[in-house]
Structure 1
Amino acid sequence: MKPLASILKNFPPSKVIDPTIDYSKYITLDLSVKNQNLTASKSGNSADFEEYIIDYLKKNNAEVAFGGYIERRTLYQRSSIFKSDLISERNIHIGVDFWIKAETPVLAALDGKIHSFKNNIGLGDYGPTIILEHQIENEKFYTLYGHLSLESIEGISVGDFLKKGEYFAKIGNSKVNGDYAPHLHFQIIKDVGDYWGDYPGVCSTKDLNFYIENCPDPNLLLKIT
């Protein structure tokens, strides 16, 4: 059986947000600890952070800012979900983020069915989240779509089938998405385990090797760069 990474690499490119936006209007965004322009105070306030994203897109004549796979970030320090006396600090992002305005259409990356969905309420969490289940060449795996609108998880059911490229959700705003600037968190997951409508999108240094193996680079499928 082929490794999942090899299957995805040879699969036709997929888009997961508004298909009318050409990849030429995408620009990479560095949210790592190396970004000196993004202060902890700015990234910790959703309104300031959204203003930062809008300004960045305008300056670069772009419509979508993306990136973040295996990126070490400081923006999670505001939430006890990622750091407390009981857990190791989680600050390495293991999906790809697409920073764009709220209400932007979200598309299914591949043919699949709804595995689970949930509103993950809490500062720094996903907010409304949908996980799809896929099977290619006898390989079962999952894609996660986080920070959606509340409407995205209304009127849907586990097992609903979606075609590749089908519009099935919208990006949420800061009031529902964990208090972030609007964006989509997209992640590929080999084995979702017992998780339901949720799966870690940020990991600690000690767990990084596991998550690199279980959550391959989404760009293998998206082929943006």
Structure 2
Amino acid sequence: MMTEVMKMREEENKRSSQSKVKSIMKKRWFLPAVYIFSAAVLLTGILVYQASDNEFTQDPSENKQNITSENNEPSIEVNNSLETFTIPMSEAESAVIKKEFYDVDGDTKQQEASLVVYNNTYQPNTGIDYAMKDGKGFDVTASMSGKVKSVQEDALLGNLVVVEHDKGIETHYSSIKDIKVKEGDNLKQGETFAKGGTSAINEEAGTHVHFEVRKDNVAVNPLEYLDKPISSLKAEKKEADTKAKDSADQEKEETTENQDDAGNETSEDSNENQESNPNQEPGNE
């Protein structure tokens, strides 16, 4: 008897639970609530998947700025395509040019003004000599980010720092003092690494910095590349290399053609001589 009563109560509880569920499902808010909950679960799953996927597939190049060198200083990406060549002075707006670059295609007056006189000899200026309007001292800064290739103490040039920016592309800074860098150091654009100084080869410039831009160790006019990216210099370098190659190929072809023409003329002369002396034996005159 007791068992039957318990079964009846279980059936009543089951019917009551089912009735409550059906009652809830009939509510107007039930289906929208189910949809919202399902969407939330789906969106959460997608976000978790993307986060885990990015963790394993992230491009290593994105972490370049997090790489540190042996001395625990952040390493510098040498060739920043967004940078442009700048005047290598902390107060560039107050800079004046003491002597310009010697341009072989310039007019006579410009070329004369670009000659450096030293020990009774005249030498073409291979860079730009910058100084302050008031002649005071100033900080020398990196024209573009790069790596210090060499640091030289030179009484004639007034010391020299060479910074490499790309293969064959460098900037040279001389007539400087209080140098704060050494070979192998990384420099950021605009970073101070020395102060303006003097040089024995150009004493008349006073306190200044001699600034050069070089490609394949050939000096080019820095004024033509100020406010331009390094890609402009690389493009001209590539174009010059192509022209030099084309010129060499053309010269080689012309030499070959001339040799062929000379050989043909010799052969024709020989045939004509043989025709004019049909009875002459080869080798006899």
SS state at 2:190 partner: coil
- Partner residue in 2 for 1:220: 224
Write the distance in 1 (CA, Å) between the matches of 2:143 and 2:127.
14
More strand by share: 1
Write the distance in 2 (CA, Å) between the matches of 1:77 and 1:21.
26
Corresponding residue pairs, total: 138
Structure 1 unaligned regions, length at least 5: 1-6, 23-62, 84-88, 193-213
CA RMSD of aligned residues (A): 3.2
SS state at 1:14 partner: coil
* TM-score scaled by length of structure 2: 0.42
Write the distance in 2 (CA, Å) between the matches of 1:140 and 1:173.
27
1:219 positional shift: 1.8
1:160 positional shift: 0.4
The answer to whether the 8 A contact 2:146-2:186 is kept is yes
- Partner residue in 1 for 2:151: 117
Partner AA of 2:224 in structure 1 = L
1:173 positional shift: 4.1
Structure 1 or 2, whichever has the larger Rg, is 2
Mapping of residues 13-92 of structure 1, within 5 Å: 13-18=85-90, 20-22=91-93, 63-66=94-97, 68-69=100-101, 70=103, 71-73=110-112, 76-79=116-119, 83=121, 89-90=122-123, 92=124
**2:173 pairs with 1:145:** yes
The answer to whether the 8 A contact 1:102-1:170 is kept is no
More helix by share: 2
The answer to whether the 8 A contact 2:118-2:202 is kept is no
1:172 positional shift: 1.0
Aligned partner (choices 191, 198, 203) of residue 179 of structure 1: 203
Q: Which has the higher contact order (CA 8 A, sep 6+)?
A: 1
- Partner residue in 1 for 2:131: 99
SS state at 1:113 partner: strand
